[in-house]
Chains A and B, each alone.
Chain A
């Protein structure tokens, strides 16, 4: 802050100088007096007053010369000149050279007071203006710093992004190509930025979409995530996920940006997962098989033991019972082997003339006894309009046998003893040469978790009593017959399996 109380007073007339000095001091100013222009300038250099009051008419260096030198040294100094009475020309001269005001001799107190007040006001305004400007500059500096920081941050963000980022200007020329993009495309940035157009870089699949987007004005603004292969010269193509968007400033397209996610690592992990899942499935398969075989072995062991007792004691009853046990378990092994073979071997259907309702009836009869022992009713609902058709009867039989015995098991395993358990087996002629087989039960039903796993190898909810192959075999058989399978099930309510199989007409 400058000292606005300091006034340099220059006048060659002794009386005038003293008189003015006195009256200024009375007003509270800090007055420096000089009796010539030369002396005044020296004092100005030394004291740096903010207001100079100088007589114009002085011998040697006159007031105009002092004014010019002072203004030259410090243009902010307020210079008030004192002119002789009626000397308007000098006063105008002085104003032209930058004097802020003039007063005439003899100097009247009020005029002096007013001139000084104006000078001080000007000084204050100028001071405020300077502070304001400094503030403004400071703020401007801070703002620029912030903008730069943000831009640096965005730069770093783009540079260190895990996505390949490729941005273009409004003409499609590439202006940003980050390190990850370099890694995906296998081209150094320097060969791309401002050298290539997206049409030259992107695979045609997305280059075409981008061209459309640029051409559509505001119609199409972005390209959603999709899988894109990036061809690489002399290397494997790179699988990526891509999405892109146009950049707008208001209504104008100012460029575009595309994001590429490198999927190589993910694909590699997926492959590994598939492999490890297969290994796990094999391990599970072996464990399940071993378990199932262990059960059969228990039966066989029991059988041979009873046979041996029968032999030792010559007891025909024991011999017969033991032998039945052995036979039953031999039967179980052959079922297992049949299931395993059916599951693992490809088999083309062998079409023959057959009656689908008879096949369904045969399956029901096979399971009737077991159902009855467990107080389960097997109901038939066969469509009488189904006549002789051409199908693979063995495949139809295996399919239905698996489904109906599952339905019976679902009732046996049901914890709800108040239910009257029923298995319904139905056939229905559908359009397009298709027969619909429906197997419905009101047994234990399936949870969603179970429902999702029923077609996995060796999945079984029957403990050691199921091979975990039945539904897999069904699925495979249905596929081989070009049919379809549909499952409706609710935990505690029961399940319905609907199998649709196409048939050939019989002449």
Chain B
């Protein structure tokens, strides 16, 4: 059975790009345009992998990541952060939230900066799904 990959991004171009990469490589894409929808799809569908943009309106990417990693039912789903911001900026923002009293969260399995090559993305996806 084909593996299902949830991609969450507010940029329709990225959604379309990732969706095409997924389809071309034989995965079933699930799509959410914001963190709230993404989280409810993750809970309902239990995808094999989540590709998440962190920089979305209302901090919903950053929040969704924390929710995922703080939820026992979801925390083992591997996450690829696909973002326009640098990796260290993302990690710093997570640290800041931790300092404000939230539970610390583990680093994402893979962090990729946009723009990303389709072949590279496919490789990373395959890697994570095979591993799990």
Contacts and interface: CB of A to CB of B under 8 A. Distances in A.
Contacts of A468: none
Interface in A261-310: 291, 294-295, 297-299, 301-303, 305-306, 309
A412 B13 contact: no
A182 interface: no
A199 interface: no
Contacts of B24: 309
B111 to A, nearest CB: 15
A321 B23 CA distance: 14
B84 A464 contact: yes
B11 to A, nearest CB: 7
Interface string A309-321: 1000000001001
B58 A295 contact: no
Contact of A298 (B14, B59, B85): B14
A463 B60 CA distance: 13
A295 B84 contact: yes
Interface in A413-437: 413-415, 417
Contacts of B18: 302
A306 B115 contact: no
Given A325-B13, A415-B58, A294 B84 contact: yes
A291 B114 CA distance: 10
Sorting the interface of chain A by its residue count into under 10, 10 to 19, 20 to 34 or 35 or more gives 20 to 34
A415 B59 contact: yes
Q: Which of B14, B55, B84 has the most CB of A within 10 A?
A: B84
B129 interface: no
A221 interface: no
Contacts, number: 66
A299 B14 contact: yes
Interface in A374-413: 374, 412-413
B115 A305 contact: no
A318 to B, nearest CB: 7
Interface residues of B, number: 21
Contacts of A73: none
Interface string A455-494: 0000000011100000000000000000000000000000
Given A294-B84, A464-B84, A301 B115 contact: yes
A329 interface: yes
A298 B57 contact: no
A295 B20 contact: no
A302 B14 contact: yes
Contacts of B58: 412-415, 417
A417 B16 CA distance: 27
A412 B57 contact: yes
A467 B114 CA distance: 17
Contacts of B20: 302, 305-306, 309, 318, 322
Contacts of A328: 12-13
A288 to B, nearest CB: 12
| Interface core residue of A298, A413, A414 (most chain B CB under 10 Å) | A298
B116 interface: yes
Contacts of A294: 84, 114-115
B17 A325 contact: yes
A302 B13 contact: yes
B21 interface: yes
Interface string B44-66: 00000000000101110000000
Given A413-B57, A414-B58, A415-B59, A298 B114 contact: yes
Q: Shortest 4 CB-CB distances between A and B: which pairs?
A: A302-B17, A298-B115, A299-B13, A464-B84
Given A298-B14, A412-B57, 5 more contacts: A298-B116, A301-B17, A302-B115, A325-B16, A464-B55
